[in-house]
Chain A
């Protein structure tokens, strides 16, 4: 068919998808040209993931049609999608951790009954070479870093001859260096003929890597623009429907009293290796202390120690006048510590309702005459949903909420108690522009109120924007504490382990 040469890699027309009363996609048109890197942009819950899950055969559209290279198709399952050359990498990777890279790549893509592993290993190595993906075919997936695992997922798709690759928030879990490597790889693959759908909330990445942008709002397309002809602020305005301004940091509110004190805290990681080495920090009332560092330098362990879910092997933690060294989560909360953890799924029970999760940390307060007061649980949830503008109903199962709304649930549950100390990790990861602003605004309000806030973030811009002081962590050690108007080069050196002179 001669006309198909010029036709786009993917055309989706009038795609509509409902989940009960929610319209996730409302007559969406989306075109992916060949050899194009195309950003799909939109606030949390705008319907980006839903649209791509339809293309990949994980959901079925209620209405609309899909053409691939000009040919109308029906995609019943990911198997059909793969046969049509479509690959998708989701945020939660679908890899079998105990198996090797080779085994993961060929899993579900073997012909006949025999495995023929040695052959497969060669073919996988060859493919990795051809696509320029640096990964050892014999390594076990469980030993790989997040960035390397993502490369395995991409290799898996390409090995199945994908020429359309869907990446759903691929950079949310990567360090800046890994993002750079990913982009280099994508550019090279693009030159070899790959088309990419790229979903991200980070506008500078979109400006950096993509050729065109489709913006969704409330399930509808609000614009399609070539990246070269737009700006970050214009994209933000299209997404949110109003101009965005960023947050403004009010004057310092720091007081003298230290509300969170860490003295020589030591802890081990899951492998039993030292992850924190004599960490000492003071956080004052009315202050945001940012903890900067490259991912994997002990931030996660430090957050967990303060959240009460990891024990320390040495040192002391004093919060709000209480010794909470090795105290469990209940004691930590009772001392007045509010916790917003890195992994949202770690702190909410995904299969329970919004209202139940909002009450779970302090269930005793919702008991009357020995019975659960269901009315109060519900009213409590309604009040928080209203106050924090959460797009959800009290009886919604948490799992069905978009990332931004899930984060707001956690935020509401913690902030309503006006905690003296706040331990916050990656608070805006995966959140859209509007939600990010909202969360940062709320943290600043807590600072003005007089809370001592430890902000752990791998997003350096976030640290610089919000912090009163910045502590830098490297291989479990505090390299130094600097002011936010520090020279960036200097900060970079500290983050890479070069000692302050």
Chain B
């Protein structure tokens, strides 16, 4: 008896079930691990996936967690669709956060309706600026942007560190963190006594905007053409360089907004852990979401859910907190594998 693997798209009915199957498969896969630390796997998965949604407060917390991911996922998607492999959302986010802090610190006495747009614009511009050099090098000198955008992430991190250990060091506590931004620059809460803030609305608007641009405008179709075949796109009269540049800069700008979001919505000052890895996770969100705006939204909320879940598991069952991380990583890998494998089927022959 032999088996063979064929390329064959999965039936339509199967596709929505894939995340569910991935979850079940991950549970089986990691249950030994949970047993090993002496917890009940079923209880563990309940706290992981269901408990966060069972109360209003924690469900809202899921949305808080997904807010920066919506933004970085959108940023990465926008670049990837155009065939620009921006791995630098992390650095662009850090620069957006730095700009937001710089502006926020000066906003004493400025009304919020002016302070907040100023910070958003500043963060967007800083992200764009950070994306500019790799984009120009790609377009003018054909230097691979994967390397340059990645390397600039470390540079951005060092700049933030230098600021926090130098001019912005908190004069009171001497911690490497900036003073707090002006009260008028802080994002208002959407729901009192939760952490859900204006940034969530901004993220949703950005998702809707990229959906519109990518699927409903001539620019979006041109970008897709450049991403799928830049020679053919050039032949058809599309300005490939200009399109790539736009994709790269807008992507950087959106990642910058994620930085503003973290400063003005969550921390209120700059710390060197401000990004929480959201720039990199954005790549996972974009991939899980198959470079489609709604897919990205779902993926961001999903990762927000397992992020929240990881905390509730260890809190409720007293298992080591890294277990949550392990399960979370396993779930991501399995989901990615399932998304890939759905294009194949195994057939028994003879």
Contact = CB atoms under 8 A, between A and B. Distances in A.
A349 B225 contact: yes
Given A363-B221, A370-B217, A371-B217, A333 B228 contact: no
22 contacts: A60-B4, A77-B4, A309-B234, A329-B236, A329-B237, A333-B237, A339-B235, A346-B231, A346-B232, A349-B228, A349-B229, A349-B233, A351-B228, A351-B229, A360-B238, A361-B236, A363-B221, A366-B218, A367-B217, A372-B216, A372-B217, A372-B221
Interface residues of B, number: 24
A274 B348 CA distance: 58
A372 B220 CA distance: 9
Contact of A328 (B218, B229, B239): B239
Contacts of A74: 349-350
Among the interface residues A77, A333, A348, A363, which one has the most CB atoms of the partner chain B within 10 A?
Answer: A363
B197 interface: no
Among the interface residues B221, B222, B225, B232, which one has the most CB atoms of the partner chain A within 10 A?
Answer: B232
Nearest to A356: B221
A352 B224 contact: yes
A347 B235 contact: yes
A341 interface: yes
A361 B231 CA distance: 13
B111 to A, nearest CB: 33
Contacts of B350: 74
Contact of A363 (B2, B222, B235): B222
Contacts of B228: 349-352
Contacts of B229: 349-352
B2 A76 contact: yes
A370 B218 CA distance: 8
A60 B349 CA distance: 11
B237 A328 contact: yes
A268 to B, nearest CB: 18
A366 B231 CA distance: 22
A166 to B, nearest CB: 21
Q: Which 10 A-B pairs have the closest CB atoms?
A: A330-B237, A329-B237, A349-B229, A363-B218, A360-B236, A351-B228, A349-B232, A347-B235, A361-B236, A371-B216
Interface string A289-318: 000000000000000000111000000000
A364 interface: yes
A255 interface: no
B349 A76 contact: yes
B6 A60 contact: yes
A399 to B, nearest CB: 10
A345 interface: yes
A424 B221 CA distance: 27
A371 to B, nearest CB: 5
Given A74-B349, A371-B216, A371-B217, A329 B235 contact: yes
A75 to B, nearest CB: 11
A345 B221 CA distance: 18
Contacts of A308: 237
Contacts of B225: 349, 352, 356, 360
Contacts of B4: 60, 76-77
A64 to B, nearest CB: 14
Interface in B1-57: 2, 4, 6
Given A76-B4, A76-B349, A363-B222, A307 B235 contact: yes
A308 B349 CA distance: 53
Contacts of B239: 328, 330
Contacts of A330: 237-239
A329 B234 CA distance: 7
Contacts of A347: 232, 235-236
A419 B217 CA distance: 27
Given A329-B237, A351-B229, 11 more contacts: A74-B349, A77-B4, A330-B239, A341-B235, A347-B232, A349-B236, A356-B225, A363-B221, A372-B216, A372-B220, A372-B221
B232 A348 contact: yes
